[in-house]
Structure 1
Amino acid sequence: MVVVMAPDATDEQIAHVTERVEGVGGQAFVSRGVVRTIIGLVGDIESFHGLNLRTMPGVAAVHRISDPFKLVSRQHHPDRSTVWVGPAGHQVPIGPDTFTFIAGPCAVETASQTLEAAEMAKAAGASLLRGGAFKPRTSPYAFQGLGVKGLEILADVRETTGLPIVTEVVDARDVTVVAEHADMLQIGTRNMANFGLLQAAGESGKPVLLKRGMTATIEEWLMAAEYVAQRGNLDVVLCERGIRTFEPSTRNTLDISAVPVVQSISHLPIIVDPSHAGGRKDLVVPLSRAAIGVGADGVIVDVHPNPENALCDGPQALLGTELRELASAVRIMPPALGRVDAGERVRG
């Protein structure tokens, strides 16, 4: 069961609902969004009905939810959500009315490389900067990222370019330090089912970009998002980045159908990562066009000033002609489908 509080509900009214639910042996998980606060209830449904929650001050609606994911379902939140990313005075939207272009280096290597990549991304029309300071890699001998030094580089580049930062966190113990530097926390495919990390990210107070696990079903992916929401954070953006199938021609198989499926059952925004799906720079632009065409709320791509010498995922990083083609696609296609460039809707 879910209790939807009115937009003007006070903290006292929210606490009163929580106390009544806990008074009959239930659990109440408060999640705060941009406009509304939602309280997810766990426990005996019949005992909750006896509380007459609908009549309590500050309560807008009470819904019985059949989906296993309660807080991220459209059953109680029919309108799709917009998540705002960035510091006060420069918040970039990701949601149903806009198209958000996120770009940057897969890994932060040096200050000059990161700044050059960020300037390339901004020139191409990106309104958010991606960059990895912590890198979970299949091989323990591969480049694992610069850690805190990488976060500091990203923060400096944000000051120079004005682009809010999206960066990955791989360990629950690092959530605090990453949140101090970043504007949005990314949970990568390898950590989609790292429940302790999901809960810590949910408590961080920062928006979360949640990538789909490489073998995860859509329901498992949404249940992972529920872990974040249950800890008080409804500002979650989903990212389809391809799933592992039998087909070896691409790095992963982009499940483009996941975009409309997710949008039909969840209010969360969903973007696409064509770089990690295809694994080749020649596939990024066509897959991006497909993502725009199917209604994705944005794309996140790798760019690098010198892909041949990149320490991580060089073959999929864009430069030159491919980046110009992508810039053209994200400039021309979204408006034809009723989308506005997110950079034009920045909230001051």
Structure 2
Amino acid sequence: MIIVMNPKSNQMQIDDVINVLKNSGLGVHISQGTERTIIGIIGDKSVLRDIPLELMPGVEKLVPIVESFKLAGKTFRPEPSIVNVNGVKIGGKELAIMAGPCAVESYDQIMEAARAVKRSGAQFLRGGAFKPRTSPYAFQGLEEEGLKLLKAARDETGLQIITEVTSEKAVELSIPYVDMFQIGARNVQNFQLLREVGKSMKPVLLKRGSATTIDEWLNAAEYIMSEGNYDVVLCERGIRTFETATRNTLDLSAVPVVKNMSHLPVIVDPSHAAGKAKFVIPLSRAAIAAGADGLIVEVHPNPMMALSDAAQQLSPKDFDSLCSDISKLAPILEREFCYYG
């Protein structure tokens, strides 16, 4: 249930409602909109049976929430959310571009990648320090050494750092080094991990699982938000279908569908959807046209030599071409993107 406050309600009236809820043992989540305040109620609402909340000063109405994803849904917050990562906004007019190699391999590799994506207009450097792989014998990442290399790249370029965390230990280890956590497709329903990144209060990019429904995806976001961390960005990265021409099938319909159901920003990962570099640019253009708030793209200084996912990584030259395309598309869609090429 949510409580919609009257646009003319004052802070004292809002505080009075909050105190009644807290004194009843309920959790409270506040959404401050441009016109009115919405108070979300978390817990067993039956304790309010004899409390006439709708008659309290400043209360406009009570609205039951049918969806299980109460905080991620539009009933709780009708206006689109903007996630601010150290001044870089995801979900506003400007398109957010995250780019970099699948895995951090060496100092030279990550620095070359960072400089290249920065030159083309990316605001975030992505790079895996912890690599969950299908085979236990595949390259698993440099872990803390990889985090240190990402920090070095941020110190030089000013790019925000996003990296995947795969365990509670990885979350704890990564906090001093990164600006945004990524939850990968394999961990979208690792509920303990979702709670941990929620408690960290760092922004989180939540990827959709390859067999995850949109409802399940939004409920995964709810786990993070239920810990008080509302800085969640959703990422569509392809789902598993019977088609084998691409690594996964990019579900572009998810972008407008999720935007109809949730206030959270949505970006697209065309690299993991395609699995082949030659399809990444057209899928990226389609994602922006579909209304995505940005992209996360794999870029490697020398894709042929990449230690993981070599086939899907763009060269810096191809990434620059993609950014040029985005700069032409953005004004048509009333979006903004600063291309430096």
Q: TM-score by structure 1 length?
A: 0.88
1:76 CA displacement: 2.4
Cα pair 1:30 1:231 within 8 Å, conserved? no
Over the aligned positions, Cα root-mean-square deviation in angstroms equals 2.8
Does residue 339 (structure 1) correspond to residue 316 (structure 2)? The answer is no
Q: Deviations over 1:195-237 (max 9, x none)?
A: 0000010110100000001100000000000000000011100
Establish whether residue 323 from structure 1 lines up as the match of residue 319 from structure 2: yes
SS in 1 for 2:267: strand
Give yes or no for contact 2:168–2:193 (8 Å, CA) kept in 1. yes
Q: Is the 8 A contact 2:121 2:338 kept in 1?
A: no
- Relative contact order (alpha carbons < 8 A, sep ≥ 6): 1 or 2 greater? 1
Q: CA deviation at 1:123?
A: 1.3
Q: Deviations over 1:98-121 (max 9, x none)?
A: 211111111111111001011111
User: Secondary structure in 1 aligned to 2:176?
Assistant: helix
Are residues 247 and 207 of structure 1, via their aligned partners in 2, closer, same or farther at CA, if it must alter by over 3 Å? same
The answer to whether the aligner puts 1:224 opposite 2:220 as a matched pair is yes
Corresponding residue of 1:84: 84
Correspondence 1:241-260 to 2 at 5 A: 241-260=237-256
Aligned positions of 1:207-218 closer than 5 A: 207-218=203-214
What residue in structure 2 maps to residue 293 of structure 1? Answer: 289
Unpaired runs of at least 5, structure 2: none
Query: 1:20, 1:51 within 8 Å by CA — same for their partners in 2?
Result: no
Q: Are the counterparts in 1 of residues 22 and 28 from structure 2 also a CA contact under 8 Å?
A: no
Question: Does the 8 Å CA contact 1:38/1:71 hold for their aligned counterparts?
Answer: no
Percentage of identical aligned residues: 48
Deviates more, 1:59-68 or 1:96-105: 59-68
Conserved in 1, the CA contact under 8 Å of 2:267 and 2:292?
Answer: yes
TM-score between the two structures when normalised by the length of structure 2: 0.90
Deviation of 1:330 after TM superposition, in Å, equals 1.7
How many residue pairs were aligned?
A: 336
2:252 partner SS? coil
Shift of 1:324: 2.8
Question: 2:75 — aligned with what?
Answer: 75
CA deviation vs aligned residue, 1:147-188 (integer Å, no higher than 9, x gap): 111111111110100001111110023212212211100000
Matched, 1:63 2:59: no
* Closer/same/farther in 2, CA of residues 106 and 69 from structure 1, 3 Å limit: same
Counterpart CA distance in 1 for 2:109 and 2:331 is 32
Quick one: which amino acid aligns to residue 135 of structure 1?
A: K
Q: Is the 8 A contact 2:38 2:77 kept in 1?
A: no
Aligned residue type for 1:162: G
**Equivalence for 1:196:** 192
Q: Does 1:109 align with 2:108?
A: no
> Residues 60 and 237 (structure 1 numbering): CA distance in 2 closer, same or farther, change over 3 Å?
farther
Residue 95 of structure 2 aligns to a residue whose secondary structure is strand
- Report matched runs for 1:138-153 at 5 Å: 138-153=134-149
Kindly provide the CA deviation profile for residues 233-274 of structure 1, in whole angstroms up to 9, marking residues without a partner as x: 111000000001111110000000000000001000000000
Alignment partner, residue 28 of structure 1:
27
**Contact 2:38 2:76 (C-alpha < 8 Å) held by counterparts:** no
Greater Cα offset, 37-46 or 193-202: 37-46
Q: Which amino acid aligns with 1:47?
A: L
Contact 1:104 1:118 in 2 (8 A): yes
- Other structure's SS at 2:288 match: helix
SS in 2 for 1:185: strand
Q: Distance in 2 between matches of 1:8 and 1:275?
A: 48
- Aligned pair in 2 of structure 1 residues 218, 136: CA closer, same or farther (>3 Å)? same
Q: Is the 8 A contact 2:17 2:56 kept in 1?
A: no
Larger Cα-atom Rg:
2
Q: Provide the C-alpha distance between the structure 2 equivalents of 1:291 and 1:40, rounded to a whole number of angstroms.
A: 35
Which piece of structure 1 moves more, 59-68 or 323-332? 59-68
